[in-house]
């Protein structure tokens, strides 16, 4: 099975469509949260997830846009974009987002979470020490997470007390080793923050037990134009072209 792993779409439909067309055929889609917030097309992005995602979880911006967590936990620009995103949501899209949990045990091998296993909504899992601590919080071999908007992974061999962080190259395939545990962040579709403005995603191949990391260029200026028309904050518009 080819499983498309997406995170942090953030209402960026142009980026999402570029990813869906570059990904080719897939058998399932797992969405790691923050489908909305920041960007200009929340309904269209939710509708594509409703259509394609077998597994979907919620993120901090989804919850804020739904009015389920305190907006004061966000900086003023993010807060403004969350309020705007929430105000745009059609009832059926709100109803789809509303019950999503922040993490799901998919099966014995895989866990999906937005932030981290120990703090599914808020923790940014970026450092090896955090990965080591978080491996204690779940039994599965592999955890897919989003939230940091950085395409990366951590691996820890059984018996080791240290985790190794790796930054994947585009098109690189990671073969999963049965005696190693992993954290995998596919990166952000709609607002990458690793100095690469291209949309990020990953493809899990369960037949080969491998994960391939991808980047795809999209029309950033089209999303920026839409954001300007919606009156979204200038800093959120500018950051897309730098990938920050
Ligand atoms: Zn996010």
pLDDT tens-digit profile of 28-61? 999 999 999 999 999 999 999 999 999 999 999 9
State which residues form the domain around 191.
2-239
Distance of CA 160 from the midpoint of ligand 1 (Å): 31
Per-residue tokens: 116: 């981290």
Whether 38 is covered by a domain: the verdict is yes
Whether 127 is covered by a domain: the verdict is yes
Check which CATH number belongs to the domain holding 219 and give it: 3.60.21.10
pLDDT digits (tens, 9 = 90+) for 178-196: 999 999 999 999 999 999 9
Whether 244 is covered by a domain: the verdict is no
Q: Token pair 């592999």 is at which residue? A: 142
Task: Tell me how many domains the chain contains.
Answer: 1
Whether 24 is covered by a domain: the verdict is yes
pLDDT digits (tens, 9 = 90+) for 108-117: 999 999 999 9
Per-residue tokens: 131: 């990965």
Q: Token pair 């099966």 is at which residue? A: 107
Distance of CA 113 from the midpoint of ligand 1 (Å): 12
Pair 6, 31: CB distance under 8 Å: yes
The average pLDDT across 235-240 equals: 98
Mean residue pLDDT of the chain comes to 97
Distance of CA 23 from the midpoint of ligand 1 (Å): 21
The average pLDDT across 118-131 equals: 98
Query: What is this structure's pTM?
Result: 0.97
Distance of CA 10 from the midpoint of ligand 1 (Å): 7
Distance of CA 74 from the midpoint of ligand 1 (Å): 12
Q: Indicate whether 2 pLDDT > 90.
A: yes
Distance of CA 184 from the midpoint of ligand 1 (Å): 15
Distance of CA 114 from the midpoint of ligand 1 (Å): 9
DSSP string, 78-137: HHHHHHHHHHH--HHHHHHHTT--SEEE-SSSEEEESS-SSSTTT----SHHHHHHHHTT
């Amino acid at each position: 099975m080819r499983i498309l792993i997406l995170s942090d779409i953030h209402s960026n439909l142009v980026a999402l469509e570029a990813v869906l067309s570059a990904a080719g055929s897939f058998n399932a889609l797992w969405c790691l949260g923050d489908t909305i917030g920041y960007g200009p097309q929340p309904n269209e992005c939710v509708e594509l997830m409703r259509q394609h995602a077998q597994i979907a979880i919620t993120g901090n911006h989804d919850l804020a846009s739904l009015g389920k967590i305190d907006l004061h936990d966000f900086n003023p620009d993010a807060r403004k974009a969350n309020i705007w995103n929430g105000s745009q949501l059609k009832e059926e899209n709100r109803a789809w987002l509303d019950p999503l949990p922040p993490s799901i045990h998919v099966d014995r091998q895989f866990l999906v979470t937005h932030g981290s296993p120990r703090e599914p909504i808020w923790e940014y899992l970026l450092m090896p020490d955090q990965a080591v601590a978080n491996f204690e919080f779940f039994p599965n071999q592999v955890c897919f997470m989003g939230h940091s908007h950085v395409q990366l992974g951590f691996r820890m061999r059984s018996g080791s007390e240290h985790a190794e962080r790796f930054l994947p190259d585009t098109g690189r395939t990671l073969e999963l080793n049965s005696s190693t545990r992993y954290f995998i962040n596919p990166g952000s579709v709609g607002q990458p923050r690793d100095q690469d403005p291209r949309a990020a995603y990953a493809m899990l191949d369960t037949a080969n037990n491998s994960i391939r990391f991808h980047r795809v260029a999209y029309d950033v200026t089209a999303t920026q134009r839409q954001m300007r028309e919606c009156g979204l904050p200038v800093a959120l518009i500018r950051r897309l072209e730098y990938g920050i």
